[in-house]
């Protein structure tokens, strides 16, 4: 999904994250929401902040956005990867811990199940990482 807006909400120890695509007339065209558990943000902090150092800090301000309210399907994400070409990519995945421990003990590779591929302008990606860690204790 391409997105040009995002919003973060504290949800106890976790972070509810919304991504939205707003067209030029201000209409919401697409929306995706997920939850980042506190452990995920702690485990990802070093890698994502190092990545941000490599691609450079955000130079603009985030466009404010209030995501839609109501019943939404929420994926739980425990693996966050990012990359950048002419667009910023955010790859969200999940790993079930029990089977991962078993595979690890057996010396087998651990596969993450892909949940979502999100793309945006590189500046939006930089703003997202910055806000993700500005608003959490992770």
CATH of the domain at 96: 3.30.2450
Q: How many residues does the chain have?
A: 138
pLDDT tens for each residue of 14-48 = 999 999 999 999 999 999 999 999 999 999 999 99
For residue 21 the two structure tokens come to 């695509």
pLDDT tens for each residue of 46-74 = 999 999 999 999 999 999 999 988 877 88
Helices within the chain (DSSP H only): 38-55, 97-105, 122-134
Give how many domains the chain has, as a whole number: 1
Across the chain, what does the average pLDDT equal? 92
Q: What is the mean pLDDT of residues 89-111?
A: 86
> What is the domain range of residue 130?
5-134
Q: List CB contacts of 127: < 8 A, sequence separation 6 or more.
A: 6, 58, 60, 61, 62
């Amino acid at each position: 999904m391409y997105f040009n807006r995002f919003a973060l909400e504290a949800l106890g120890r976790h972070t509810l994250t919304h991504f939205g695509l707003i067209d030029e007339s201000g209409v919401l065209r697409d929306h995706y929401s997920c939850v980042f558990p506190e452990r995920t943000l702690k485990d990802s902090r070093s890698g994502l902040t190092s990545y941000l150092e490599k691609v450079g800090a955000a130079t603009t301000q985030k466009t404010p956005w209030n995501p839609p309210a109501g019943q939404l399907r929420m994926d739980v994400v425990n693996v966050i990867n990012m990359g950048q070409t002419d667009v910023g990519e955010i790859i969200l995945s999940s790993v079930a811990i029990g089977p991962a421990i078993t595979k690890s003990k057996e010396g087998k590779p651990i596969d993450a199940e892909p949940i979502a591929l999100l793309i945006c302008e590189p500046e939006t990606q930089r703003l997202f990482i910055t806000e993700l860690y500005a608003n959490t204790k992770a």
